[in-house]
């Protein structure tokens, strides 16, 4: 039986990934430092869904399926020795690396949050790769990156999967070469993902490590086939101004009678993927390892949606008011976006796109737990620049 490490396995994508791979018969070692649960305490805002302690989650899964999951509490950015020993002991065939501080607004809260995000994310990636090399174990590393790597300016073309063909002039002769797509981060968080990409390039070139970097869009939805099986397995749902992500936030806001919070004009376009598809893509990457020739990069996204249209669509279905707030980010007022996602489609991904049934499912879950919502945590309080004015009460168009 193949052994898979899921590092960051207690998180929003990690937990359903753990269950999905366990259901598929893999031997799962789940590693997590509980950093995300500590951030809940720091921010004084918990997941809207009442997630259970890890022990209870694992026990329930074993009771339902007979499948065991091993949990190790390791901070992979800080405890290199423990990480190395775990790889030497379990010899994982694949390591899924989700263990990063993943919220752009959180990464912009203060100098401390900027430094924490860089230290945590860059060291986690470097430590995992160093440990793979030192252990001598031939593990395939699968990392969750972001479509934000490419930036959100209008490039007017379909963004390729990580590599860009360019024409150069060599002694008067035009030649076509391929380069890594130029990174264009829009926050400290996104900057760490761009730094990861260079780390992957080096370890693949120098040590021939098999690496897949999944440039993922914004994940929406909450439950997957496996997390739905019991209340104890429920996935986390972030709705706050730091960790909540746009589509899930709109759906939740419509259920707690809060105006839908559009930051800026709503002219922004972003890439999206449903949580069920996200875990399926990770499984496709696990079961189809890449060659060692270069880092394999897939755009893990199923559609691009405009924020204003999204708010209007949800407003129309639910009757929720839409409110336009000053944008705390430094970004273009509007942009268009189009991604190639051939890699995962060729491996068999069946895209789930925005549909009323799945939106209703999120609304049902959020309505069920709406009494757990803390209203003053909904608005984003981070600012990309100190002197940026934010009207927290909202600014109606
Ligand atoms: N959620 C999204 O919309 C989205 C979109 C694109 C990419 N991603 C990427 O996917 C990955 C997972 O995202 P998520 O939404 O599940 O985030 P999450 O915060 O819910 O989960 C991350 C998990 O990693 C753990 N962790 C963080 N640092 C750690 C460390 N040093 N050692 C051990 N564990 C650590 C946290 O405790 C948490 O459980 C992240 O790398 C994120 O950047 C997420």
* pLDDT, tens digit (0-9, with 9 covering 90-100), for 299-308: 999 999 999 9
Nearest by Cα to 236 from 25, 39, 26: 39
Helix, strand or coil, per DSSP, at residue 308: helix
Mean pLDDT of all residues in 335-349? 97
Residue reference for tokens 């390729």: 160
- Lowest mean per-residue pLDDT among 5-19, 62-76, 306-320, 383-397: 383-397
Determine how β-strand 173-180 pairs with β-strand 163-170: antiparallel
Q: Which of 106, 149, 152, 189 is catalytic?
A: 189
10, 46, 98, 237: residue to mutate for ligand 1 pocket, most atoms within 8 A of CB: 98
210 a catalytic residue: no
pLDDT tens, position by position, 6-15? 999 999 999 9
Distance CA 12, CA 103 (A): 12
Reply yes or no on whether the pLDDT at 397 is more than 50.
Answer: no
pLDDT greater than 90 at residue 395:
no
109 has a pLDDT exceeding 90: yes
Mean pLDDT over each residue of the chain, to the nearest integer: 96
The answer to whether 263 is a known catalytic residue is no
pLDDT band at 393 (very low <50, low <70, confident <90, very high): very low
Return the pLDDT at 387. 74
Question: How far does CA 159 lie from the centroid of its chain?
Answer: 19
Give the start-to-end residue ranges of the domains of the chain: 3-377
The Cα 332–Cα 143 span in angstroms is 28
Ligand 1 atom closest to the Cα of residue 123 is 31
Fold of 3-377: Rossmann fold (3.40.50)
Q: State in Å: Cα 100 to ligand 1 middle.
A: 5
Residues whose beta carbon lies within 6 Å of some atom of ligand 1 = 7-8, 10-14, 32-36, 75-77, 98-100, 102, 120, 124, 144, 146, 216, 218-219, 245
**What is the model's pTM?**
0.97
pLDDT for res 1: 81
Mapped onto helix, strand or coil, the DSSP state of residue 201 is: helix
Stretch 169-184: mean pLDDT: 97
163 is catalytic: no
At residue 155, the pLDDT reads 87
pLDDT, residue 330, reads: 94
**Residues 69/110, Cβ–Cβ less than 8 Å:** no
Give the closest residue (by CA) to ligand 1 atom 42: 102
- Average pLDDT, integer, range 68-97: 98
Flag whether pLDDT at 36 surpasses 80. yes
Q: Are strands 69-72 and 3-7 parallel, antiparallel or unpaired?
A: unpaired
314 is written with which tokens? 């949800």
Mutational pocket test of ligand 1: of 15, 102, 107, the residue with most ligand atoms within 8 Å of the beta carbon: 102
Output the pLDDT for position 119.
98
**Which long-range contacts (C-beta less than 8 Å, at least 24 apart) are formed by 177-184?**
181/149, 181/150, 183/149, 183/150, 183/151, 184/149, 184/150, 184/151, 184/153
For 218-256, what is each residue's pLDDT tens digit? 999 999 999 999 999 999 999 999 999 999 999 999 999
Nearest CA to ligand 1 atom 18: 11
Residue 390's pLDDT band (cuts 50, 70, 90)? low
Percent of the chain whose predicted confidence (pLDDT) is above 90: 95
- In whole angstroms, what is the distance from residue 123 CA to residue 91 CA? 21
Nearest to 43 by CA among 233, 238, 236, 222: 238
- Is 65 a residue whose pLDDT tops 50? yes
């Amino acid at each position: 039986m193949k052994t898979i490490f899921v590092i960051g396995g207690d998180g929003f994508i990690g937990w359903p990934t753990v269950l999905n791979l366990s259901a598929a018969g893999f031997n799962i070692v789940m590693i997590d430092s509980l950093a995300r649960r500590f951030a809940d305490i720091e921010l004084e805002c918990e997941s809207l869904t009442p997630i259970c302690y890890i022990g209870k989650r694992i026990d329930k899964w074993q009771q339902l399926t007979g499948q065991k999951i091993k949990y190790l509490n390791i901070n992979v950015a800080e405890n290199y020795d423990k990480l190395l020993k775990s790889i030497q002991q379990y010899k994982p065939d694949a390591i899924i690396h989700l263990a990063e501080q993943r919220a752009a607004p959180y990464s912009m809260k203060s100098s401390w949050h900027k430094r924490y995000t860089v230290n945590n994310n860059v060291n986690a990636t470097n430590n995992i790769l160093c440990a793979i090399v030192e252990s001598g174990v031939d593990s395939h590393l699968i990392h969750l990156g972001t479509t934000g790597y490419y930036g959100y300016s209008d490039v007017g073309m379909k963004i390729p999967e990580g590599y860009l063909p360019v024409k150069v002039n060599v002694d008067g002769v035009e030649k076509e070469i391929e380069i890594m797509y130029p990174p264009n981060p829009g926050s400290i968080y996104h900057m760490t993902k761009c730094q990861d990409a260079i780390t992957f390039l080096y370890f693949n070139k120098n040590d021939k490590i098999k690496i897949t970097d999944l440039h993922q869009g914004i994940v929406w939805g909450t439950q997957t086939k496996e997390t739905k099986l019991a209340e104890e397995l429920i996935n986390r749902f972030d709705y706050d101004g730091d960790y909540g992500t746009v589509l899930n936030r709109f759906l939740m806001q419509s259920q707690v009678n809060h105006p839908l919070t559009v930051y800026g004009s709503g002219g922004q376009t972003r890439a999206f993927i449903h949580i069920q598809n996200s875990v399926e893509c990770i499984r496709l990457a696990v079961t189809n390892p890449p060659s060692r020739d270069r880092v394999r990069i897939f755009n893990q996204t199923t559609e691009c949606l405009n924020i204003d249209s999204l708010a209007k669509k949800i407003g129309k279905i639910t009757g929720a008011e839409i409110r336009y707030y000053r944008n705390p980010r430094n970004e273009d007022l509007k942009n268009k976006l189009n991604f190639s996602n051939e890699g995962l489609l060729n491996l068999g991904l069946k895209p789930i796109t925005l549909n009323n049934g799945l939106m209703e499912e999120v609304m049902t879950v959020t309505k069920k737990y709406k009494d757990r919502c803390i209203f003053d945590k909904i608005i984003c309080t981070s600012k990309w620049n100190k002197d940026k004015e934010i009207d927290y009460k909202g600014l109606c168009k």
